[in-house]
Amino acid sequence: MTYSIVTADQPLNHAALAEVAAAKAARKARRVTVLLGGISSEREVSLKSGAAACKALEAAGYEVKAIDVTRDISTVVLDLARTRPDVVFNALHGRYGEDGCIQGILNILGLRYTHSGLLASAIAMDKPAAKRLFADAGLHIAADRVVSREEILAGDPLPRPYVLKPLNEGSSVGVVIVREGGNAHPFENQSWPYGPTVMAEAFIPGREMTVAVMGDHALAVTEIATDHAFYDYDAKYAPGGSAHTLPAPVEATLYAEAQRVAIEAHRALGCRGVSRTDLRYDGERLVVLEVNTQPGMTTTSLVPEQAQLAGISFPDLCTWMVETASCDA
């Protein structure tokens, strides 16, 4: 995967660096088991995230094992017992790995794991529920409706342009933009494999930005540009699909506000560890699109890029995630 990355001078995030140093100094974990693969539509991305995490953790001095998670949960549980991890590094993406399912199993087993817990993970993957919490926290969101396929075929649920999204998928899987001038109804000639209802959401024009949050600290702000119609799955993962400008070339007040909004969104869902908040800036306000509780973790993914800019290497980032891991049990 390649990106066009433009970097500029930015002060190191000394607070985040201090947390990383403290986590390394107090290091207790020795064995780490990485969960990767999974059965969602984001399996291939998860395999890459997991492989990168394994390499970084080995470089940091941990004894690392990997488990490719399948529907055979009994085997997954046996593999976890066999590897006897001090901490589980959750590199799964999408349904069953990011939505609270695997977190619930790890809670039952009493194993510490990286990223958010069961409740925050479940809410973040449920787009309507997450947006209600964002609104309650005073954050800007796009107007939306939850509608059935039949309602969509009967007529536009919102003024065009609008976006149709599965309720609980990640990485822009299944996302469609319905624009002015289109003659065909969405899904008129195709099935919808993402459940009986979808979210229709007002399209927010403007600049795409994303902010990684590590604990209580926003690492940086990245502006994302793409030649695609929007930042879709291919734009995110295909070579040359997008350009990341890091740090985002915006005025200091907007940069700081993007970081504040990301931290507030992280807190509103009850996230822990690392998350990434996607935003749109329409020239007047920052609109929260979603919070990713299991963002991509390859060396060229958005979060590691921002960590590097903040002065945190990828192995050190993974070390911090392991040493601050928790369990809801």
User: Do 319 and 60 contact (CB within 8 A), yes or no?
Assistant: yes
Residue 12 pLDDT grade (very low, low, confident, very high; cuts 50, 70, 90): confident
Which residues, other chains included, contact 158 with Cβ-Cβ below 8 Å and sequence gap of 6+? 143, 144, 145, 200, 201, 202
Out of 99, 278, 305, 323, pick the active-site residue.
278
Q: What's the pLDDT tens digit per position in 202-218?
A: 999 999 999 999 999 99
Inform me whether the pLDDT recorded for 293 exceeds 50: yes
Please give the class, per CATH, of domain 4-138+205-323: alpha beta
Between the alpha carbon of residue 290 and those of residues 4, 72, 88, 125, the distances in Å are: 24, 30, 25, 9
Q: Are strands 243-246 and 217-225 parallel, antiparallel or unpaired?
A: antiparallel
Residue 300 pLDDT grade (very low, low, confident, very high; cuts 50, 70, 90): confident
Task: Take residue 161 and report the two structure tokens written for it.
Answer: 């342009």
User: Do 314 and 308 contact (CB within 8 A), yes or no?
Assistant: yes
CA nearest to 291, candidates 177, 212, 201:
212
Out of 95, 149, 276, 280, pick the active-site residue.
276
Given this model, what pLDDT does residue 1 score? Answer: 30
Out of 162, 231, 237, 255, pick the active-site residue.
237
Q: What's the pLDDT tens digit per position in 23-76?
A: 999 999 999 999 999 999 899 999 999 999 999 999 999 999 999 999 999 999
Out of 41, 171, 275, 301, pick the active-site residue.
171
Q: Distance (Å, rounded) from C-alpha 278 to C-alpha 170?
A: 12
Active site residue 42: yes
Active site residue 251: no
Out of 46, 296, 301, 305, pick the active-site residue.
296
Out of 144, 290, 305, 323, pick the active-site residue.
290
Q: What is the average per-residue pLDDT within 310-329?
A: 95
Q: Distance (Å, rounded) from C-alpha 200 to C-alpha 198?
A: 7
Residue 314 pLDDT grade (very low, low, confident, very high; cuts 50, 70, 90): very high
CA nearest to 287, candidates 148, 138, 163, 175:
138
Residue ranges of domains in the chain: 4-138+205-323, 144-202
Q: Hey, what amino acid is at 169? A: E
Out of 46, 292, 301, 316, pick the active-site residue.
292
Inform me whether the pLDDT recorded for 116 exceeds 80: yes
Out of 3, 37, 40, 42, pick the active-site residue.
42
Order of strands, sheet of 286-292, starting from the edge strand that comes earlier in the sequence: 4-7, 243-246, 217-225, 207-214, 274-281, 286-292
Q: Distance (Å, rounded) from C-alpha 324 to C-alpha 214?
A: 11
Given this model, what pLDDT does residue 4 score? Answer: 41
CA nearest to 27, candidates 60, 52, 53, 1:
60
Given this model, what pLDDT does residue 2 score? Answer: 35
Active site residue 237: yes
Active site residue 19: no
Q: What is the average per-residue pLDDT within 74-86?
A: 97
Q: What is the average per-residue pLDDT within 257-267?
A: 97
Between the alpha carbon of residue 147 and those of residues 100, 118, 132, 280, the distances in Å are: 24, 27, 17, 23
Q: Which residue has the higher pLDDT, 221 or 299?
A: 221
Residue 153 pLDDT grade (very low, low, confident, very high; cuts 50, 70, 90): confident
Task: Note the maximum CA span of the chain.
Answer: 61
